[in-house]
């Protein structure tokens, strides 16, 4: 991760400030507030603001005037109920804002989660840094033969070395051309004062998708959990999953009761269709059931058997 001295000084200054407030604060999240968590080779994620906590979810559900005198076990039971029955609105009452530095191709996946407010670094206004993502050797994998959007066996030997060199060479060449079109030297000085240089909004189109961008991403707790359910999943692409995994830890710091319910009723649960439930009932009655007479497709059958530990 690359954070220059000025950026680090800004982070340190933010972390040194404290405020007195009547609003709910969460000590565990305050510990890492503004702190940049390094990810991939140049990326990071950090919490820059939040609103609400587990009690805010409970208050919204009960429409109460304050925390009240109920026990934590009561709050836990209500949050579990809300999560179990998909009552989403109380979770929407909490919000969190992140500062994220990520490769452009990861950002293009991320932006598909449309229920968030996003403000991205502008390459029309500013010049992108010469930072691009190169996968670690264990992530250089071939196309999967069974999954059209997944990876297969890890490349090795000369093949892996060649792919690594191609990725690095193309990114370096693209940035050299980017600087040339902007009429800039590598240190940011002007190459030829007599030339104006191409407009930044045009020069940027030559950069490859592994260059880094940054944005502020704000979302409510419910939609944050939806993002994590999809992107912290083992089937998600590695490069976005590492961000989701780090943010999953921040969810636990922020709203531990909600996190526990999320892990139990969303991450660790299985959705079963009406036909699938009929199969489960037949199996429980002692009947031998095969895929061909189950009413399920081969894929549905395989997924159900995997969830039941009968693969």
Q: Which residues, 6+ apart, have CB-to-CB distance to 42 below 8 Å?
A: 1, 2, 101, 131, 132, 133, 212
Buried (b) or exposed (e) across 202-222, using 16+ Cβ within 10 A?
A: ebbeebbebbbbbbbbbbbbb
Task: Write down how long the chain is.
Answer: 311
**Cα–Cα dist 171/177, whole Å:** 10
In the three-class reduction of DSSP (H, G, I as helix; E, B as strand; rest coil), residue 117 is classed as: strand
- Residue 153 is given by DSSP the state E
**Cα–Cα dist 309/259, whole Å:** 25
Q: How many CB atoms lie within 10 A of CB 166?
A: 10
Residues noted as catalytic: 231
């Amino acid at each position: 991760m690359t954070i220059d001295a000025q950026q680090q000084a800004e982070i340190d200054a933010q972390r040194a400030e404290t405020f007195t407030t009547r609003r709910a604060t969460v000590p565990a999240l305050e510990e890492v507030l503004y702190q940049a968590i390094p990810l991939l080779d140049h990326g990071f994620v950090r919490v820059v603001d939040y609103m609400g906590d587990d009690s805010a979810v409970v208050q919204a559900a009960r429409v109460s005037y304050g925390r009240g005198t109920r026990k934590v076990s009561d709050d836990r039971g209500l949050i579990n109920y809300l999560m179990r029955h998909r009552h989403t609105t109380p979770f929407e009452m909490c919000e969190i804002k992140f500062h994220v530095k990520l490769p452009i191709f990861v950002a293009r996946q991320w932006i598909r989660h449309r229920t968030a407010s996003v403000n991205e670094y502008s390459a029309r206004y500013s010049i992108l840094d010469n930072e691009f993502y190169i996968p670690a050797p264990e992530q250089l994998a071939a196309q999967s033969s069974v999954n059209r959007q997944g990876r297969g066996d890890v490349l090795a030997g000369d093949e892996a070395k060649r792919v690594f060199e191609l990725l690095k060479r193309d990114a370096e060449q693209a940035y050299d051309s980017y600087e040339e079109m902007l009429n800039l030297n590598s240190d940011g000085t002007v190459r030829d004062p007599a030339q104006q240089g191409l407009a930044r909004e045009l020069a940027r189109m030559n950069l490859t998708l592994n260059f880094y961008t940054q944005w502020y991403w704000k979302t409510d707790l419910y939609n944050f959990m939806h993002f994590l359910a999809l992107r912290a999943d083992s089937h998600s692409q590695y490069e976005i999953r590492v961000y989701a995994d780090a943010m999953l830890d921040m969810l636990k710091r922020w709203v531990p009761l909600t996190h526990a319910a999320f892990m139990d009723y969303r991450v660790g649960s299985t959705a079963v269709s009406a036909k699938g439930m009929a199969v489960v009932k037949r199996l429980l009655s002692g009947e031998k059931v095969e895929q061909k007479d189950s009413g399920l497709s081969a894929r549905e059958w395989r997924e159900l058997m995997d969830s039941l530990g009968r693969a």
